[in-house]
Structure 1
């Protein structure tokens, strides 16, 4: 094993202030990460490190510092990164507690940079908002109002404001004139909490749209706390934009991007940057997933603009890297870039893209290491072995997927806690590993063999193949061999959150501007 050096809080803080490239990686699962972490930490859990790290930290010579909170995960992660070819890997001196003891500010929740920035925008620009009761009164009186939901479509479908239309954040400036052609129509922008409604509302204001615009204060949380009813399963979506409206929106978006000091770039620039050994360059297509699948530039990743601004830490986990955005309408890339520039990123918009350049089709595929060798078995073989007995199935999918449906008798296991999980699972003569596709399960084969001393097999095609064969399924938390810490339950998600949790979340958001000031490393500005 190679020796991995330590890197101090002071050194990382100095690098952040100097806008140097670095990746500060929390390798715990999402739930403990959400309990406490530095502002610019990126959460890449040890359990799926190999499947995420190449896309999130694309340059192998990036300065990568990993940490945990004393669980022993960081040293394992550091060694794995070295084995994957990362040449500048370090451990955070003292781990999370070392950061705190050195005077570093710690934040809760996820996607904190964008949420804190949203609060900063509202405090500086006094972004207009209406309380849930006021919006309900407008709807009850049949006022000339349109409600635009700035979240992802799947979030909108889960719960939405009555009459709300799904218009994910980066689409707002492009679509607003189509949805509210009369400039006297009031536009209300909502999300589940605060950030995306603030950013969406301010996007329309920054772009100079003539309509009166307001955010729904506190989003669907505020609506619920006011005792008002949400709709479920709605499917209202924005309509295509006419060329005259696109041209107006393009001029507005370019003006906003220029004001935010967004950089311009050509395909030749991009090609040159992608060959640079000393800088990281991310290339993001900020259109809808459907448009991306129909045709996109080679090597682009599909990141709809509103979500890119909301979850930048997830897509671009190297702070100080270069971001390049592309669209085909000169609106969504410029508006998204305007916010990313204010969030402290070096961001460029590609200006010389032609329809012919969108030559690749299909979904984005994450780059992953070469698959490890494993002996695969078919669904039929597994069914036979289960009938005979003395076979244990270990399922490495997300806990949410496992609870929804799994192979009867399968145990849910978190890969980063495999050794502890195996002590809870009755021993067997053979083990079969699975997950949705078996891609993650494949990574655990050698470890299960080493820990059990038994023969280990991989289910070919994963649980998806079992489902496709119409084999029986179970649901529920029947056999959890690991704690369900792989995902943090967001207080603004779903429809069954305690009122206390929702209110506490809002109270936390209100305090983020003060936390930013205490931290002092953010580099944000507001146009």
Structure 2
């Protein structure tokens, strides 16, 4: 836990002289060298979404100290930091060194330098996992059908089982009418509970990637029934002039009866054996965790309901479909050791194959009493106690000219409503604020640790002691503070925190209509072509 310092902290200035710098080409060589390494992009979400190198892990400076320990739990692993060429990586490096990370380097020139070196990059989120989905799996060739063909099949009375493999949040927003939600890693286990072996299964998703992943996993599992992909998924359906079903409620995953469980276990045994995926028990896991030279992640990949009913304290609960679709959200170290806990084994085996193709060393652990008895290894928790004040005291100070409001909420929230006279900012931009120790900042935030981290930086920049307003914006409104909106402030350029304007997410695609859908589909299909051959080889397909 960190407490508020009483004088400017000089650690950043002292650490800058010791921070190693590495040119982008050499950085890429290290990334592809086959050793454990964390490649962290410390820019904000909007900047990252607009474009970033493949294989980076998003760890924005505004949240760095509170997120890095989960993403990079071993402090002796080499860490490469990428910024926007604006010096933020130096601040991030100083913070990591202060947290006892021992091998921290900064990519010289940041992302602009990476681009000038002619190295590959792409826009959007989770590029490596998304590009991997576009790569074929041996034996996974599946026919595609367009929306017109699906309608003809249905009109002719042909029975189909239409399954949407998208993330649950995306399915809830919009899907092809009649689709049943079943995430990618659950398909092989639970399809038999939905349909028979003769019925054609049609896989859909927002675009193509999740459906392609589902088809690949079905092929790896040995599924023998007929499978087709709905070309371009929900976007293709809408572009054919048909309405999507919106506001959907996902139902519980189909239950597996005893015969079905026996079949899933048998399939798991075959996949584990044929793909040489190792099983591991609690003693082996302890040995992995005790290795000081390797980074180990433990995940319980069962559904949230299963994990809640039968908790594994030593494991982080992440549904397997989420883990393979957004691996870098939980694993910040390339070529790490990963243990996947599963009850019947098939989900673990399939996820292991997928993560292994991303370069990780993966084991599967079958849930038993030994796993249940394992305890979590205490992490390096980062907490900060920042000075606080009431909304009423803050309002009085600002109105009497003895303070200023600094709004650190998301830019979208600020545009929708804020206290007049407030300045919007984000942690990487605090150095640009005019210092006036006689008028300290009263910080409006939505909770979380970001405001506390900002108070440390503000002190370093000569702003004096800042205070976080208890209850934030809502409390200020409740005591009668005026509110105004500003649709154009901050500008799109200034709102580096927000990925809404740049990243292809389903909400913005739906709002953008046909053009946005076409752009999203083009983005999906272009990902693989943006990778150089050495980078494509990293996937090991």
Q: State the TM-score, normalizing by the size of structure 1.
A: 0.87
Contact 2:301 2:342 in 1 (8 A): yes
Tell whether 2:201 aligns with 1:191. no
Partner of 2:445: 435
| Structure 1 SS opposite 2:92 | helix
Contact 1:21 1:318 in 2 (8 A): yes
Sort the Cα spacing of 1:442 and 1:141 in 2 relative to 1 into closer, same or farther, 3 A: farther
Tell me which of 344, 348, 359 is aligned to 1:329. Answer: 344
Partner of 2:497: 486
The CA deviation at 1:13 is: 3.8
Deviations 1:398-431 (A, max 9, x none): 34555677778765421111233x46x9999453
Once the two structures are superposed, the pairs formed by residues 13-412 of structure 1 within 5 Å of their partners are 13-121=28-136, 125-141=140-156, 143-180=158-195, 182-237=196-251, 238-351=253-366, 353-355=367-369, 357-358=371-372, 369-378=381-390, 381=393, 392-400=404-412, 411-412=423-424
Contact 2:417 2:486 in 1 (8 A): no
Partner Cα distance (2:461, 2:105) in 1? 28
Q: Which moved more, 1:84-93 or 1:295-304?
A: 295-304
Partner Cα distance (1:140, 1:392) in 2? 65
Deviations 1:283-316 (A, max 9, x none): 1111223333444222322221111111112211
Sort the Cα spacing of 1:11 and 1:426 in 2 relative to 1 into closer, same or farther, 3 A: closer
Tell me which of 410, 413, 435 is aligned to 2:425. Answer: 413
Partner Cα distance (1:168, 1:393) in 2? 44
Tell me which of 443, 446, 450 is aligned to 2:456. Answer: 446
Contact 2:41 2:58 in 1 (8 A): yes
| Structure 1 SS opposite 2:466 | strand
Partner Cα distance (2:504, 2:116) in 1? 29
Partner Cα distance (1:406, 1:141) in 2? 57
Q: Which moved more, 1:230-239 or 1:114-123?
A: 114-123
The CA deviation at 1:374 is: 2.1
Sort the Cα spacing of 1:457 and 1:101 in 2 relative to 1 into closer, same or farther, 3 A: closer
Deviations 1:328-358 (A, max 9, x none): 232322221121123332111113x315744
The CA deviation at 1:385 is: 6.2
Q: Which moved more, 1:119-128 or 1:55-64?
A: 119-128
Partner Cα distance (1:33, 1:42) in 2? 10
The CA deviation at 1:517 is: 4.5
Q: State the TM-score, normalizing by the size of structure 2.
A: 0.85
Q: Which moved more, 1:499-508 or 1:265-274?
A: 499-508
The CA deviation at 1:279 is: 0.6
Q: Unmatched 5+ residue regions in structure 1?
A: none
Q: Unmatched 5+ residue regions in structure 2?
A: 1-13
Partner Cα distance (1:451, 1:332) in 2? 50
Q: Which moved more, 1:456-465 or 1:84-93?
A: 456-465
Deviations 1:185-214 (A, max 9, x none): 222222212211101122223323343222
| Structure 1 SS opposite 2:328 | helix
